[in-house]
Amino acid sequence: MGSWAYHQHSDTKLDSDGEEGWSAQIPHFPVDGIFPLYRFPRSRHRDGSIYRGTDSWKEEFGTANRNETRLVAMMLSDPADCVLRVDGTCMWHPPRPMLQIFSLKLHKVHVDDRLDPLLNHVINFSRDDPIIVEQGSLINMNGPKRGMQLIGTILIEYDLRIKTGKHEKDDLQLIDGASIIDDIGTEDREIFTRRIHGEYGTMEISASRLLYAVEATIEVLISEVYRSFNLHLGCFTSGLQEQIQLFDGDIGESCGLKRSVVAVRMHTSVDLKFKVGSESSRSEHCCFFKANQHGCVSKEIKTNLGLISVKVTWSPLPRGLVTSVMRRPREIRQPSRLARL
């Protein structure tokens, strides 16, 4: 996918933001079969260069505006203005091309698309509340806030640091910058992996474009706990075999898990796999929900350790707050901001 991005920017000139040719050291070819993502010059968060300047991509994506998206999930789960076809499906709120991120290997990722050019965090952990990860491990995503539209080009912002002491100035910068992904180089329901290179490490992002997709907002309630247990919740969408990790932790009392938003292609389903028990002994419970444009559906899972309630709410993406969705920017294909990591 998106091979045009690294081909167009395969020069090895020194960055004008004084990075001493770091861009020249980033591979411009696949390594182990994984394409790299080109990083824009003057796109660093640490020195503030991403917020300054008049680069066309900064204006298109509004990178200086750090407010969160005004759109939320489930906005069209129960609309009053549906126009129904003979078969009962709604033609007024159609499914849309969406992006689904499956995994991030090895801080802050957010997704900004043309629906609303404000921050839509995929992961967001502050320096005061860091996470501990090992090389090759997956990062639990605490987002996105809503589904992500994929029409045109998506901007990924990333700012990943290693906390080394008391002061932020001493932290090691793993990766920092912004890159783009284009829908032209992606296939429907085909998982792609891209590698983001930094001065002290790399991150891999796996994702897929889903045509005619809707939001599935997944809410899980542990309503009864008979004995403490470990819970792992995985999600599969749109017939793809790549798992999205939604939760992995211990349950000691009744609680609700963090709400998750997943893109699902119409005429397919979202499948949830619960592993309940301990590391040495787990029982597996599965349930699936067929995609719909509107409405919600609930199910209960009874186990020897607790009672689990699952609710999935369906909603297509709204038309958005940006009216110029179909126009193309001056220098790059139509941006539909994806992620600022």
Strands 191-197 and 35-36: parallel
Cα-based distances in Å from 4 to 26, 126, 156, 295:
16, 34, 16, 40
Closest C-alpha among 248, 268, 277, 260 to residue 313: 260
The most confident of the ranges 49-63, 153-167, 313-327 is: 49-63
Answer yes or no: is pLDDT of 9 > 70: no
Does pTM surpass 0.85?
no
Which letter does DSSP use for residue 28 in this model?
A: S
The CATH class given to the 214-315 domain equals mainly beta
Say which residue the tokens 């090691």 belong to: 172
Domain ranges across the chain:
3-211+329-340, 214-315
CB 53 within 8 A of CB 42: yes
Answer yes or no: is pLDDT of 4 > 70: no
pLDDT tier at 12 (50, 70, 90 boundaries)?
Answer: very low
Cα-based distances in Å from 33 to 167, 192, 193:
38, 11, 9
Residue 161's pLDDT is what? 81
Mean pLDDT of 14-20: 45
Question: What confidence tens digit (pLDDT) does each residue in 194-232 have?
Answer: 998 887 778 889 999 999 999 999 999 999 999 999 999
Q: Looking at per-residue confidence, does 132 or 16 come out higher?
A: 132
